Each structure stands twice: as structure tokens, then as C-alpha cells.
């Protein structure tokens, strides 16, 4: 079945329910707790509040899924919305057993898991540092993106007050995957969906299962990798940004321009410019040449 056909799209937009996802939650399974809601303004906002208010009720690995997210949040306060049933919007609660200085890897580890899940679905996904998953699929170049198209956004946030807890920081990792949107339903020209990319399946239940399995594996590798060489190598191997000529707008600082040469031990972007190599911890990356 063509993933973009009306019948495939209609089948993919069957409402997500707790019953449909029951196989991945419970004792000895991937998730300790799963809450599925029909609609939510933002699963990240809701899970941050719940985990802060009742931390004992939200062990890791837990998740909150919204069949329809109406006011999703991205980096730098950006907001977005999708047609009902057209995306997989999920926030995971992580309690990684890593040092505080390793938490910068969170969006990259989550991105690695997401890339692997999309590749399972037949999509040639890569990570665009620091928190997007992209596919090289555009017929023409778009300023700041080239021929790359965004199919997933990731937002990681530390649960307020958890960094001081004995158990260590709790992190909410929000993942929004464009699944069945048509080209006309996508919000910006540089966006894509699994449907527009010709994915083998638009089944959100199967995608959630695959994503959860890969996230479990990626987190285990991160936690067991005290010196980070495995995580570092695994993330770099799927990071499309390496080798790009870029301009990175840093929060409250000047833009850094140059060629991306890799990632630092802290997960920062290494950009080689005319005045040397810059370690960029955060910022909006714009493609100049990819």
C-alpha cells in the first residue's frame, strides 16, 4: 500500500489508545508507566508538571503520549501544532545514571534512538545537531536547510528540582514525529513526514514500540559508557551535520561560522572557522553548504 494513499493515511490516523500500546508497559517490559491522552497542549509541559509534583509516581522509563497535541513546544519558545492523529507526540521521563556534566548528551542520545526507529521504517534519517532528525529529500535547496528536510523535533528539559535530588536529574524528552501529514499539511517548506518520504508504514503503534525499544538500548549504552566513546561514536555516525559548512546562532552571542568537524566530549558541536575551532554548546544551526 502506498503510504500516501488515502486509505493508508486514514488507517494511520486511528486514535492511539492505552490498550493498543499495552504490550510495552508493565513489570519486565520497556516502560514502567504509560499515560495515553486523547489531547494535550504539550506532553512535555504536562509530564514536567506531573513528575515534579509526584516524582514517586513517575519512575523511569515512563512516557506520556497524546493522540493529538495542540500546542507543542520547541526550542527557544517556538510552538507548533499538527492535524489530529497525524503525528506521534510522546514525552519520555528519563532518570539517566550519568554525571551532571554528561546531561548535554540527552537530546543526542534520544536523537540516536529516533534515527534508528525511522530507519527501521525505511526512512534514511540522520541527526541534525542538536535536536532535529532530518532526511535528505528535497528537490530544491531551502535557505538554512539545503536539501535536508525535518521530520522530527526533540526537546529535552530537566524536571525542576530533580538535579538536587539524591537520585540525580530527571529529564523529560519530548519527541514529535511527523507521520501521515500530506505536503499541504506540513507547516513549513523544510518539513517532511513519513508519508511524504515514502515510509514503509505509517502505523503509529508500531513506531512507538520501535522508538521505545531503541531508546531503551541507547540509554543503556549511555549509562554503561562512563567515558562516552561508544555513545560519542554512535551519535557521530548518524550526525549529518558533520562536514557541513554552517552558521550557528548562539543564545545571546555572536554567530559562529565554519565547517563542522565533529562533536566534543560534552556533545558540543566543533566548528572550524578562520580563527580556529569553536566548541558550540547550544544554538540554531543553519546550513550554508551540505
DSSP output for 129-168: TTTEEEEE--SS-BTBTBTEEEEEEEEEEEPTTGGGSTT-
Return the pLDDT at 167. Answer: 62
Return the pLDDT at 80. Answer: 61
Overall fold of domain 6-238: BirA Bifunctional Protein; domain 2 (3.30.930)
270 CB contacts (<8 Å, ≥6 apart)? 260, 261, 262, 263, 264, 277, 278, 279, 280
18 CB contacts (<8 Å, ≥6 apart)? 34, 35, 36
Burial of 79 (0-12, 13-18, 19+ CB in 10 A): exposed
The C-alpha atoms of residue 193 and residue 202 are separated, in whole angstroms, by 10
Q: Which residues of the chain have pLDDT under 70?
A: 1-8, 10, 72-81, 163-167, 226
Overall fold of domain 245-289: SH3 type barrels. (2.30.30)
Tell me if the pTM is above 0.95.
no
Return the pLDDT at 24. Answer: 95
Return the pLDDT at 226. Answer: 65
The C-alpha atoms of residue 152 and residue 143 are separated, in whole angstroms, by 19
Return the pLDDT at 225. Answer: 78
The full set of domain ranges for the chain reads: 6-238, 245-289
Domain 245-289 in the same topology as domain 6-238: no
Amino acid at each position: 500500500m502506498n503510504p500516501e494513499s488515502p486509505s493508508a493515511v486514514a488507517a494511520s490516523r486511528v486514535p492511539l489508545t492505552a490498550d493498543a500500546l499495552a504490550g510495552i508497559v508493565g513489570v519486565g517490559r520497556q516502560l514502567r508507566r504509560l499515560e495515553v491522552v486523547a489531547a494535550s497542549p504539550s506532553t512535555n509541559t504536562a509530564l514536567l508538571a506531573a513528575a515534579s509534583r509526584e516524582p514517586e509516581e513517575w519512575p523511569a522509563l515512563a512516557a506520556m503520549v497524546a493522540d493529538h497535541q495542540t500546542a507543542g513546544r520547541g526550542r527557544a519558545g517556538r510552538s507548533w501544532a499538527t492535524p489530529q492523529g497525524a503525528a506521534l507526540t510522546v514525552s519520555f521521563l528519563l532518570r539517566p545514571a550519568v554525571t551532571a556534566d554528561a546531561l548535554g548528551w540527552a537530546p543526542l542520545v534520544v536523537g540516536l534512538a529516533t534515527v534508528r526507529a525511522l530507519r527501521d521504517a525505511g526512512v534514511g534519517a540522520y541527526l541534525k545537531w542538536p535536536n532535529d532528525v532530518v532526511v535528505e529529500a528535497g528537490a530544491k535547496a531551502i535557505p538554512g536547510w539545503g536539501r535536508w528536510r525535518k521530520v522530527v523535533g526533540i526537546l529535552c528539559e530537566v524536571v525542576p528540582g530533580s538535579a538536587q535530588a539524591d537520585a540525580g536529574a530527571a529529564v523529560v524528552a519530548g519527541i514529535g514525529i511527523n507521520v501521515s501529514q500530506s505536503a499541504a499539511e506540513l507547516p513549513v517548506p523544510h518539513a517532511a513526514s513519513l508519508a511524504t518520504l515514502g515510509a514503509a508504514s505509517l502505523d503509529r503503534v508500531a513506531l512507538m514500540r520501535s522508538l521505545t525499544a531503541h531508546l531503551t538500548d541507547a540509554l543503556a549504552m549511555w549509562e554503561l559508557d562512563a567515558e562516552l566513546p561508544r555513545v560519542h561514536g554512535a551519535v557521530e555516525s548518524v550526525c549529518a551535520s558533520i562536514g557541513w559548512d554552517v552558521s550557528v546562532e548562539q543564545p545571546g552571542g555572536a554567530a559562529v561560522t565554519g565547517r563542522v568537524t565533529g562533536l566534543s566530549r560534552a556533545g558540543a558541536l566543533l566548528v572550524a572557522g578562520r580563527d580556529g575551532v569553536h566548541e558550540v554548546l547550544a544554538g540554531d544551526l543553519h546550513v550554508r553548504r551540505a
